[in-house]
Amino acid sequence: MNSLKDRIEAGDVRLAVIGMGYVGLPLAIEFARGGIDTTGIDVSAEKVSQINAERSYIGDVPDSDVAEFVEAGVLRATTDFSVLTDADCAIICVPTPLSKTKDPDISYIVAACDEIAKYAHPNMLVVLESTTYPGSTEELILPRLKVDGAEAGREFFLAFSPERVDPGNETWTVRNTPKVIGGMTPACIEAAAALYGYAVETVVPVSSPAVAEMVKLLENTYRAVNIGLVNEIALICDRLGLDVWEIIEAAGTKPFGFMPFQPGPGLGGHCLPIDPLYLSWKMRGMNYETRFIDLADKINTSMPQHVVQKVQDALNEQGKATKGARVLILGVAYKADVSDVRESPALYIIDGLRRKGAKVVYNDPHVAQLRLESGEELSSVELTDTELQEADCAVVVTAHSAYEWERIAYKCTQIVDTRNVLGSCV
């Protein structure tokens, strides 16, 4: 029988992608585009139904792509994990959130691993893409596959390859973003690299899964710490009466030794607010304090409350109290031109303003309904002239390109701009 790597290189394998969210669905599409027979597995019957009905629920994946590959018979979805029996390769793309105490919640990874273990068979490749702490692949997945003395690199193959999805980025996609891969053995790396060659243009092999896990954490910790720094500079400039945006723009003219980051209302999305804390948690267990990470997290998580205070100050300038004031939130997605509200600072800003008695409404062209932590649902209001004029204060949280900033600046009586989109309009 040919080796798994030989069969992968011949395109004679079946792939299962576990988790059909912002990472899993785009990845499954690229493998299907590369000609690999791909089955998506998800516990959500709704997601499975939409894929099989040739519809996408991810902004970066058009319906036409789903339809093309479903009709071609190279893409399908199911809630039934038993399809792993016939899968040669399985990629885990499940969520890795934080608990209320900011400890890693690896329950989704464990659940996926347990399902794989039920149907694991010789010569199978398993790859974890979900972001987690260094050592997770070896600690969580390896023991579940190492049954009856089976050895990684011989009876089965195991690797970690961190996702690098950037929702809304039309320049860097799954296919052209380099893919880091760390395998348990050289044979594991070779098998995983051969598989990912169907979905990505460039593979970057590293020496182990732990190295690949740490690469992902370094990438997002780098961003989170630098955003924390520039957010603190923004707070300092606010107290000094200086324009932080002018300062960043001027500093950015230096051709060496400086990279501009932008301040904002806080961090959002599944990566930046969460990934560095996986590393912080891991090191606490080794009696080491991650001071940069912890301080950056403290600053970044304080920014929504800073915005609430700015709204209070803006209302005070008009002689109005926060209680009873109508506040219009412009944008609730965590970044521009996407519909993703995971960890969005808008959620914390809305909650902070409501607790102070403000009547909060929101508009977002990409988010029709918003569920608050309390379980209450809000609906996006139409951005009419009347809505803009009746707001005692508008808050720019997300700089969607669909917004007409000059119109907003002209119609609103008071605006708190956390994204510096109105500088040329007012």
Residues annotated catalytic, as ranges? 271
The greatest distance separating any two alpha carbons of the chain, rounded to the nearest whole angstrom, comes to 80
* Pairwise CA distance, residues 14 & 12, whole Å: 7
The pairing of strands 37-41 and 75-78 is: parallel
How far apart are alpha carbons 58 and 36 in whole angstroms?
21
Q: Among candidates 74, 79, 192, 73, which has minimal Cα distance to 129?
A: 192
- Residues 183, 185, 188, 189: what is their CA dihedral angle, to the nearest 10 degrees? 60
The span from the CA of 87 to the CA of 80, in Å, is 13
Distances (CA, A) of 95 to 111, 200, 377: 11, 22, 23
149-152 contact pairs (CB < 8 A, 24+): 150/122, 152/184, 152/185, 152/188
Q: Which two tokens stand for residue 222?
A: 């780098």
Please, which residues have CB within 8 angstroms of residue 71's CB and are 6 or more apart in sequence? 54
CA distance 162 to 119: 24
- Write the DSSP symbol of residue 368: S
Are 412 and 421 within 8 A, CB to CB? no
The distance from CA 221 to its chain's CA centroid, rounded to whole angstroms, is 14
| Angstrom distances, CA of residue 193 to CA of 127, 199, 205 | 11, 10, 8
Q: What residue has token string 């707001």?
A: 391
Calculate the CA 382 to chain-centre distance.
28
Structure tokens that stand for 353 in this block: 């303003």
Q: Which of 69, 30, 72, 22 is nearest to 47 (CA)?
A: 22
* Closest C-alpha to 66, from 47, 89, 43, 88: 47
Q: Is residue 16 helix, strand or coil? A: strand
Helix, strand or coil for residue 211? helix
